[in-house]
Amino acid sequence: MQEPRSASLHLHGHQAALQAFRQAMQGGRLPHAWLITGPPGIGKATFAFRLARILLGGEDEASPAGRRVSAATHADLLVVARGFDEKRHKYRSEIVADDVRPINSFLRRTAAEGGWRVVIVDGAEYMNRSAANAVLKILEEPPPATVLLLTCSAPGRLLPTIRSRCRKLELAPLDTADMSAVLHAQAPETSAAEIQRVMAEAHGAPGRDLALLADKGGEIASLVHEVVQGVTPLRSYEIAETILRRDYGFSLFFSLLSDTLQMQARQAARLGNPQCVALASAWEATMRKHAETERFNLDKQEALLEAMTIASRE
C-alpha cells in the first residue's frame, strides 16, 4: 500500500471544524466516531491525521509522536484505505472486508502509550457491503478509549446506520489566504499569474490545485470549454486521447466539466431558462459516470466519450 495521502502535509484552514473537535474533546464527551466530509481535494485526509495527532499527543508535527502519526507508524494508529495495485499502478476500486479486518485485532490490544487508539478509514464511501457491515458492528459496540475517523467525499453512499452513528464534520472550501499559502508551500517556483489561475479554478480545494498546476497553460480547462460548445465524434476521440496522456487529466477533466455544467445550470435557473433542467441532468449524469468509472475500474476512454456526448447535447 502506498503511503497515506496527505498525512504529512501541514493543515491550512478548516479552523471551524478543528474548533468543534477541540470543544468536544475538552468537554469530556468526545464522540467515538467522526465522519469528515467534503468534496475531493478539500483536505479530508490531512484533517483526519491532524485530529489523530491531537489525540495521540503529537500535535507538533516535529515531535516524535507527531512524526510517527504523519508516517502512520504510531502504535496506537491504524489507517485503512483502498489497497494499491502495484501492477496496475492505481488504487483498487473498493475497500473490502480484508482491508478492515485488522481493525478488530488492533482494538483488542491495549493502547501502547496508555491513551487513545485511533482508526482512520480514508475514503469510507469505497467500502463494499461486507466492509461496511464490519465497520458498522464496531460503531455499534465501540471499545473504550477509541476514536474512528471516517473521511468521505460522498456520504450518501454510506449505510444510513453508519452515518447516524458518527458526528459529522463538513469541511468548507479554503479562503483565498489559505489557498495561497497551500500553493506557495507546494510549488514555490510557480509564477504569481499561474497561482492566480489555479486559485480561480480550484474552488477552495487544496488537493485540486496540484492537478491544476500540472495542467500547464490550462490545456484541460480549454478542452472542457471546447466540449461544452459542441464537438464532433472524431474530435471527441482526439480530446479523450489528449486527456488520458496527461497526469491528473481524467479526474481534472471531469471535475472541471462538472463545475461548468453546474454553473450553467444555476445561471439558467436564475434567468428562468427552462434549459436549466437539462443542464442539471447533464451535470448529475457526468458526476455519476465519473464515480462509476473510478469505483468499478471501467474504461476511461469510454467514460470520457460518454461524458462529452452528454455535455455536447446541452
- Condensed to tens digits (0 to 9), the pLDDT of residues 199-237 reads 666 665 666 666 677 676 688 989 999 999 999 999 999
pLDDT at 7: 43
- Amino acid identity of residue 157, one-letter, is R
- Amino acid identity of residue 190, one-letter, is T
pLDDT digits (tens, 9 = 90+) for 153-173: 889 999 999 999 999 999 987
Instruction: With beta carbons less than 8 A apart as the criterion, state whether 126 and 93 touch.
Output: yes
pLDDT band at 55 (very low <50, low <70, confident <90, very high): very high
Please state the pTM of the whole predicted model. 0.70
* Residue 179, pLDDT above cutoff 60: yes
CB-based burial, 179-192: b 16+ in 10 Å, e otherwise: bbebbeeebeeeee
* Helix extents (H) in 215-248: 219-229, 233-244
230: which residues sit within 8 A by CB, 6+ positions away? 312
Please state, in angstroms and rounded to a whole number, the distance separating the CA atoms of residues 287 and 38: 15
Lowest mean pLDDT among 38-52, 114-128, 149-163, 231-245: 38-52
CA 190, 191, 193, 194: dihedral to nearest 10 degrees? -20
pLDDT at 3: 37
Pairing relation of β-strands 77-80 and 117-122? parallel
* Residue 185, pLDDT above cutoff 90: no
pLDDT at 217: 60
Mean pLDDT in the chain? 86
- Amino acid identity of residue 111, one-letter, is A
Kindly list the domain boundaries of the chain, sorted by start residue.
Answer: 15-170, 215-313
What's the rounded mean pLDDT across residues 179-194? Answer: 70
Give the count of beta carbons closer than 10 Å to the beta carbon of residue 176: 9
Instruction: With beta carbons less than 8 A apart as the criterion, state whether 62 and 169 touch.
Output: no
| Three cell numbers written together for 216 | 500547464
Give the count of beta carbons closer than 10 Å to the beta carbon of residue 10: 10
pLDDT band at 87 (very low <50, low <70, confident <90, very high): confident
Give a three-class secondary structure readout of 97-164.
HHHHCHHHHHHHCCCCCCCCEEEEEECHHHECHHHHHHHHHHHHCCCCCEEEEEEECCHHHCCHHHHH
* Residue 58, pLDDT above cutoff 50: yes
Alpha carbon 43 to its chain centroid, in Å, reads: 7
Name the CATH superfamily for 15-170: P-loop containing nucleotide triphosphate hydrolases (3.40.50.300)
Long-range contacts of 15-23 (CB under 8 A, 24+ apart): 16/172, 17/47, 17/169, 17/170, 17/171, 17/172, 18/47, 18/50, 20/169, 21/51, 21/54, 21/169, 22/54
* Residue 289, pLDDT above cutoff 50: yes
